[in-house]
A and B are shown apart, each in its own frame.
Chain A
Amino acid sequence: MANRPKKARARTPAARGRSAPRRVVVLVATRKGAWFYHGDAARRTWRADGPHFLGHIISHLVLDPRDGRTLLAAAKTGHLGPTVFRSTDLGRTWKEAARPPAFAKVPEGEKGRAVDHTFWLTPAGVAEPNVWYAGTSPQGLFRSEDGGVSWQPFSGINDDPQYRTWMGTVQDGTPDGPKLHSIIVDPRDPKHLYFAMSGGGVHESVDGGRSFAPLVKGLETVEGFDAAEATFHDPHCVRLCPSNPDRLYQQNHCGIYRLDRPSTEWVRIGKRMPKRVGDIGFPMVVHPRDADTAWVFPMDGSTVWPRTSPDGIPAAYVTRNGGKSWQRLDAGLPASQAWWTVKRQAMTADAQDPVGLYFGTTSGELWASRDEGGRWTCMARHLPEIYAVEAAETA
């Protein structure tokens, strides 16, 4: 092997990857439209492309990692009903889904639910190339088998009396409606699914979604409510570790947790966070190659739940040991009077080395770190309120 010609080595896929590094594009969904930020090879400068759908409420914007070209946007406007737009040319052209997520029509005389907005989009694994999942508000689970063109409801969840009880009413959700989110497909097994509901707990299926069961043991609840009841749980964001699919992290209304399967009991790892900061927040981000590393972005969950940076001093926190300890990451971030927060879909990581981190704020700022949170720089200011940030890679 030592004498193998350099030319021959250059033809291997790995070598091609090294000679032509993939560029990061950051997909930003806001209350008033969508933007793309195309990075240079070093992730130092970013070219803004947008707005797309100016005036539309974009809840999630996701590029399919399986084909690197199919892009879905969950959209609605203040006046019009919800829909999903698709692009296969990175947003140069868009086409609307033929059948957006919608609940089943109920018989005359019954009060049926209508999707207010599609909140979450998840592409399935490589074994199911055209399959996507969507979570909605009011809470519903949907699946597309044609790349997001047409969507079918999971009646086993959406119309199941027990699940409807766990979903609660509009009063049991977030201020702009209860949300089904954090839909996760086990990369080893497309029939192994998770999703979460705010409120309503975390749920798991091992049969492709024919049946689901709660996965809430170990999670705490507020005000002494019965922790055995899924309805009292409010998971904010759940992530599965790509490098160890048996490990999940969760940012919950009541702390930060880790779950190592096959255990079914979550462990609260946020207790090791500094007391003055606490372990309340929305987003949860996991490292693409190291299951012991994860990031959170704490917010003020005291008194009336301001949902701002604690003391107006924003910071991410990282654990490098599965939650045994946490380090503050605030270099470059405002040192005072910054009263924004980061929503559950608005913080993400790329897959480069070192990992790039990205988050968007409720005040319309987009921040990035090229060194896993060591130093932050502001990529964009004065955007509308940011709802979701995703990092994708293009050739």
Chain B
Amino acid sequence: MKVLIPSPLLSYTAQREVEASGATLAAVLDELDRQFPGIRFRMIDEQERMRRHVRFFVNGDQVFDLSQPLRPTDEVVIVQALSGG
């Protein structure tokens, strides 16, 4: 499926849009990490929690659960939350 990458993670993917497969959001992130080593830990901590300033949207709806089932036709958008300083 199509996964849109936010600008802070382009250093890993070098492209805004990548392809990854998986039956759940967690599986898609695992696949992303295989393609782009290290990218998952920047978004998901060691306790499998989404990091505070990273958001996930599937087909336009925000997802809070890594076990969210996904279909091959879904579109995943990873967004950096607004924060700064």
Chain A residue contacts of B45, Cβ below 8 A: 81, 102, 114-115
User: Is the beta-carbon distance between A77 and B41 smaller than 8 angstroms?
Assistant: no
Q: Which of B34-85 contact A (CB under 8 A)?
A: 37-38, 41-49, 51, 53-54, 80-81, 83-85
A112 contacts chain B at the CB level, 8 A cutoff: yes
Residue of B nearest to A103 (CB): B46
Asked if A78 lies at the interface with its beta carbon under 8 angstroms from chain B, I say: yes
Residues of B within 8 A of A18 (CB): none
**For B83, what are the chain A residues with a Cβ–Cβ distance below 8 Å?**
78-79
Q: Which of B46, B48, B54 contacts A79 (CB 8 A)?
A: B54
- A6 interfacial contact with B, CB 8 Å: no
Contacts of B46 in A (CB 8 A): 102-105, 112, 114-115
Q: Note all chain A residues with C-beta closer than 8 A to B42.
A: 80-81, 83
Question: Closest B-chain residue to A85, C-beta based?
Answer: B38
A80 touches B43 (CB 8 A): yes
Q: Interface residues of A, CB < 8 Å — how many? A: 20
Question: For residue A81, which residues in chain B have a CB less than 8 angstroms away from its CB?
Answer: 41-45, 51
Q: How far is the CB of A170 from chain B (nearest CB, A)?
A: 14
Q: Tell me the dominant secondary structure on chain A's binding face.
A: loop
Determine whether A96 belongs to the interface, using a CB cutoff of 8 Å to chain B.
Answer: yes
Interface of B is mostly: loop
Which residues on B are within 8 Å of A, measured CB to CB? 6, 8-9, 37-38, 41-49, 51, 53-54, 80-81, 83-85
Which residues of chain A are within 8 angstroms of B53 by Cβ–Cβ distance? 78-80
Which of A96, A106, A112, A115 has a CB less than 8 Å from the CB of B38? A96
Given that A103-B46, A105-B47, A105-B48 are known contacts, is A83 also in contact with B8, CB under 8 Å in the complex?
A: no
Q: Which residues of B contact A111 (CB under 8 A)?
A: 47
Cα–Cα, bound, A111→B85 (Å):
29
Q: CB of A100 within 8 A of chain B?
A: yes
Q: Is A41 at the interface (CB under 8 A from chain B)?
A: no
Q: List 27 A-B contacts (CB under 8 A).
A: A77-B8, A78-B84, A78-B85, A79-B8, A79-B51, A79-B53, A79-B54, A79-B83, A80-B42, A80-B43, A80-B80, A81-B41, A81-B43, A81-B45, A83-B38, A83-B42, A96-B37, A97-B38, A98-B37, A102-B46, A105-B46, A105-B48, A106-B47, A112-B47, A114-B45, A114-B49, A115-B46
Chain A residues whose CB sits within 8 angstroms of the CB of B38 once the complex forms: 83, 96-98, 100
| Chain A 87-133 interface residues, beta-carbon cutoff 8 Å to B | 96-98, 100, 102-106, 111-115
Q: How far apart are B14's CB and chain A's nearest CB, in angstroms? A: 14
Contact A79 B47, CB 8 Å, known A96-B37, A96-B38, A98-B38: no
Residues of A within 8 A of B6 (CB): 79
Which of B41, B47, B51, B84 is within 8 Å of A100, CB to CB?
B41
